[in-house]
Amino acid sequence: MNFETLIVEDRGPVRIVSINRPKALNALNAQVVGELTELVEETAISDTVRALVLTGAGEKAFVAGADIKAMSDMNPGDALAFAGKGHALGEELGAIGIPVIAAVGGFALGGGCELALACDFIYASTKAKFGQPEVKLGVIPGFGGTQRMLRRIGAARALELCMTGEMIKADEALRIGLVNKVVEPDALLDTAVATANTIASMGPLAIAKVKEVIHEGANKALDDANLQEQTAFAALFASADQKEGMAAFMEKRDANFKGE
């Protein structure tokens, strides 16, 4: 895979993707969004990658936002198309059947915060800062920020962040449930990769189903969501992975999952 704005590194079953526009604080433009979408689509059909870690190059930013200069001359049609690309990327991240972990060091503002929210969960360094400052520019989040923030931290806090444009530090993001874990900057990537490796060692069909039923169940009535879980649970008993996992447990050995 050859990308101009991304650095891709595979460490065993974990793929690390760094957005690489450090001079622009890794700001999202159409090219970055397009390359990220292509990367996720290619990863989705990989037989070897079982977890994805998304981060930003340099020490200052995960993604400082969307490229304001590129957006400043957009008309409503242009803005609708650009937002559509951002939403499509978020949908790809949600649909891929492996965990996606955002490793956020530095600024995750605007589109950067939205990109992190589109990941399954977020690890942050102590220097990370989050915010949705779009109202300061006379617009609102356009890549899913209002809706994913709502679902992540609840309506009242989502309204406060999106209406004030306030930037919050990592410890506050942890307190309100925006991020899962906060670590020192030099431990951030290793911590995210370690968790990715842990998940990658589990049954991949089961991991894909966990992601599916949680994401889809969040938008269903409880009875319907519980039925989806029950059906997915039962379906996995037709897999070789289920047989291997339970045999390994009884034989007191590590399982050798093949995703079958």
3-state secondary structure at position 91: helix
DSSP E strands, 35-194: 51-56, 61-63, 100-104, 107-109, 121-125, 129-131, 167-169, 181-183
Q: What burial class does residue 133 get, using C-beta atoms within 10 Å of its C-beta: 0-12 exposed, 13-18 middle, 19+ buried?
A: middle
- The answer to whether 241 touches 206, Cβ cutoff 8 Å, is yes
3-state secondary structure at position 19: strand
Residue 166: active-site member: no
Residue at token pair 């970055």 = 32
Beta bridge partners of 104: 124
Residue 92 to residue 115: CA distance in whole angstroms:
11
Q: Which of 4, 134, 184, 251 is catalytic?
A: 134
Q: Which of 91, 114, 172, 212 is catalytic?
A: 114
Q: What burial class does residue 112 get, using C-beta atoms within 10 Å of its C-beta: 0-12 exposed, 13-18 middle, 19+ buried?
A: buried
Report residue 149: phi and psi, to 5°.
-65, -45
Residue 114: active-site member: yes
Amino acid in position 12: G
Positions marked catalytic? 114, 134
